[in-house]
Amino acid sequence: MGSENTTITNLRTIVIGCTPLARKVTTLLDKISDLVGVVNLSPLKGASKSNYDCMPDFARHNSYRMFWTEDINDRRTTRWVGSLKPDIIVQCGWSQIFKSEILNIPQKYCIGIHPSPLPVGRGAAIINWKIIESEGKTVPWGNSLFIMEEKTDTGDVLDFEPFDIEPRDDARTAYMKVDATTITMLDRTLPKIDDGSLTPIVQDKSKATRYYKRTPKDGQLGASWRAIKINDYVRALTHPYPGAYFETGYGRLFVWNSSKSEYKSNQKNGTIIRIEKNKGILLKVGDNSCLWLHRISIDDLEQWADEWAYSLSLVSGEELIVA
């Protein structure tokens, strides 16, 4: 991981994270720095977190460098982190706000990774929100490294790497772009921190925008919505997130994969237009538009939409959506 021209630094580093990105950052820092520790969320608490990675393989071979916690700010955790005397802490996808006790531990910086062109897009669920807002179009976006403060996402920017959120992206593939740009930035930024050549950039507060945390209930879809809006919600909230759903007479129907159709209809919103083998259910939605439901689940049983429809003997003209 990293480029062929990777520079090895003398920085003592710690990773604090519990996501697949934390795993990738750990692998990189183990190659380009003196990685002295990894703090991960305890499995009991992490079980309810989307995109959780407890990194069991790293823990098995590096138990002396792995620390499990439920609270990054508790005395036991800050004492362990402080005992390692890090130069740099890199935080990856940790949901708690860091307090001054841990922010002040590293000799140089506590680095945050934020999937937006800061100061635009501060806050939570950024990628999910940007897909929801995309109107099915490409969104020029990017990823920032910044110096963490007690206020979230306000610190000086250390580096930025652009990427596009494309109509073909969903939350999973967009976050893969976040992961890739993170590795690129850390690979080129840590050597500059080590040799003192990096100059942080103060954020322009006048340009700041903020997004807020989403909850599972925010994933409810409306049959009166246009197909493009529904499809954007599905892309934004698919695995590993809780999912977008319709309320139906058969229960809560989660849609994990969908696509817009060119077909137009004046039938009632929520009506099944067609069921096609190996494709799915064509559903009438708002503004006379239609949407293909490809992959769905009810009662945690995920399956192809057409197979589910055939199993219940659903037919064209049936009203599927009840709310």
142-169 pLDDT, tens digit per residue, is 999 999 999 999 999 999 999 999 999 9
Q: Are 179 and 115 in the same domain?
A: yes
Helix axes 171-195, 227-237, angle to 10 degrees: 50
How far apart are the C-alpha atoms of 157 and 319, rounded to whole Å? 52
5 falls within a domain: no
Number of domains observed in the structure of the chain: 2
pTM: 0.92
Q: Are 272 and 197 in the same domain?
A: no
Phi, psi of 17 (to 5 degrees): 180, 165
252 falls within a domain: yes
Q: Are 142 and 206 in the same domain?
A: yes
Of the residues 211, 236, 271, which one is the last residue of a structural domain?
211
pLDDT in tens, 25-82: 999 999 999 999 999 999 888 887 778 898 888 888 888 899 999 999 999 999 999 9
- Contact at 8 Å (CB) between 26 and 62? no
How far apart are the C-alpha atoms of 105 and 319, rounded to whole Å? 59
pLDDT in tens, 212-259: 989 989 999 999 999 999 999 999 999 989 999 999 999 999 999 999
298 falls within a domain: yes
Which residues span the domain enclosing 131?
A: 12-211
Q: Are 226 and 139 in the same domain?
A: no
Within 8 A by CB and 6+ apart from 3, the residues are: 187
74 falls within a domain: yes
147 falls within a domain: yes
Of the residues 183, 211, 239, which one is the last residue of a structural domain?
211
What CATH number does residue 283 fall under?
Answer: 3.10.25.10
Q: Are 275 and 201 in the same domain?
A: no
pLDDT score recorded for residue 322: 84
316 falls within a domain: no
Higher pLDDT pick, 64 / 262 = 262
Q: Are 176 and 249 in the same domain?
A: no
Of the residues 162, 177, 211, which one is the last residue of a structural domain?
211
Is the pLDDT at 315 greater than 50? The verdict is: yes
Is the pLDDT at 137 greater than 80? The verdict is: yes
Is the pLDDT at 1 greater than 80? The verdict is: no
Q: Is the dihedral of CA 300, 304, 307, 308 positive or negative?
A: positive
Q: Are 85 and 222 in the same domain?
A: no
- Contact at 8 Å (CB) between 106 and 88? yes
